Structure 1
Amino acid sequence: MLILVTAGSAAASAEGGVPSPAPYKMMWAAINFFILLAILYKFAYNPILQMLDDRRNTIESSLRHAEEVRADVERMMNEAEASLMNARKEAQEIVARASKLGEETREEIVAKAKEEANAERARAIAEIQSEKEKALAELRDTAATLAIMAAEKVLGKAITVEDHQRMVKEFVNEVGDRLC
């Protein structure tokens, strides 16, 4: 350092610039500098190092904490994603159950409607058969009455009960064969 100061002052004096300081002043300046350096080393170096160590520890602690927070956030995101997947799966299961229940209900309604239609058809067939039998019975009675009246006119006499029954049976059988 002293060499630089001396070289700089020699260059300045050669050019006619600033006069160079006296060598004893330079020496006192160097001594003062080293004393100041020793005092700073004694009183400021350790606190500065301590401050830098504290700062490094704080930064490392912050980085560890940030890593822990990141890991916690990642874990919570994974849990949330798993929860969301479970919710989606559960929703799909609910939709599938509802669809299945709807299909079963539809099948039950269709089966019930078919059963009711078959019952209604059977009832209608029974009613038609009953009406047919009533009509045939009525037709027999009417035909028998007409036959008796026609026979009485043709024969000119009254028919006995036995003759009447015989003629009705013959007529009914004849008419029944033709109708069926």
Structure 2
Amino acid sequence: MLIDWFTVIAQIINFLILVFLLWRFLYKPIVQTMDKRQQQLETRWQNAREEREKARQEAEEYRQKQRQLQEEREEILAQTRERAEQKRHELIRQVRQNVERLEAEWKQAIAREQDSFLDNLQQQMREQTVAIARRVLQDLADVELEQQVVSLFLDRLHQLSESEREQLVQSSSDSQLEVVIRSSFDLSESLRQKIIDTLEKEQITHQDNVQFTTASDLICGIQLLVGNYEIAWNIDEYLQNLERQFAQNFSH
């Protein structure tokens, strides 16, 4: 069998032309379309991965912020509890101090009231004791007691020191006032004369310069006044000493 090389070559050329045409007008567009589709898919896939990564990062940031907020919340709660505890202790301390202060003030007030009551009671006891003694001495005053009082007063005149005597004589001679003899009772003539005789004997004054008067403020006593000078014997002095002694004893 003879081969028609012209026909073979023509068929080969036709086949090549067909292949070229297929590649040019069919395969190449399909490949390009597939490449473009592949690229689009890859782009979408990349975008999806990026979106997923972005979502993951956002979720991680959200969780981190949640943890941070939780930590801040716990820290704030801890600080709040600590401040509340400190405030509670401070309030308790202030209340305790106020209670202790009020208790101390109350005790001091009670003590002051007790001291005031005792002081008033002691003062009343002293005053009543001295008042009773004064009344008793006033009620017991008689002629014999009056004579004894005058004798004690004259003894005091006799016992004056030189300086006291000179001061008394000077006051009597310089003063325009009389020598006043004050007594808690009305002196008899004999007792008055006895006093005048003693004053003249001691060269203190003379009879015409002596004035006698009674004084209710004296208790069984006699007082000599000349100018600003005074000599006295008075049971009230003993009662005042007694009252001072009472006050000292009660104060201890």
Give the TM-score normalised by structure 1: 0.66
1:17 is matched with none
1:161 is matched with 237
> Which of structures 1 and 2 has the larger relative contact order (alpha carbons within 8 angstroms, sep 6+)?
2
Q: Distance in 2 between matches of 1:84 and 1:161?
A: 98
What is the deviation of 1:148? Answer: 2.9
Please say if 1:125 is aligned against 2:201. no
Higher helix proportion (structure 1 or 2): 1
**Residue among 42, 47, 50 paired with 1:60:** 42
Q: Distance in 1 between matches of 2:48 and 2:102?
A: 79
What is the deviation of 1:145? Answer: 2.5
SS at match of 1:52: helix
Higher strand proportion (structure 1 or 2): 2
Residues 56 and 146 of structure 1, relative CA distance in 2, 3 Å threshold: same
Number of aligned pairs? 143
Task: Detail structure 1 runs of 4+ shifted over 4 Å in the superposition.
Answer: 152-155, 170-173
Letter in 1 for 2:36: D
Gaps in structure 1 of 5+ consecutive residues: 1-33
Residues 170 and 42 of structure 1, relative CA distance in 2, 3 Å threshold: closer
Letter in 1 for 2:92: V
Q: Distance in 1 between matches of 2:129 and 2:247?
A: 8
What is the deviation of 1:176? Answer: 8.0
1:73 is matched with 55
The answer to whether the Cα contact below 8 Å between 2:126 and 2:247 also exists between their aligned partners in 1 is yes
Q: Distance in 1 between matches of 2:247 and 2:101?
A: 36
Please say if 1:144 is aligned against 2:126. yes
**Residue among 101, 114, 126 paired with 2:83:** 101
The one-character-per-residue Cα deviations of 1:1-47 (angstroms, maximum 9, x if unpaired) are xxxxxxxxxxxxxxxxxxxxxxxxxxxxxxxxx89x74444311110
1:12 is matched with none
Give me the identity figure in percent. Answer: 23
What is the deviation of 1:118? Answer: 1.4
Q: Distance in 2 between matches of 1:96 and 1:160?
A: 81
Gaps in structure 2 of 5+ consecutive residues: 1-14, 141-218, 220-234
The one-character-per-residue Cα deviations of 1:117-139 (angstroms, maximum 9, x if unpaired) are 21222222222222222111110
Q: What is the root-mean-square deviation of aligned Cα atoms in Å?
A: 2.9
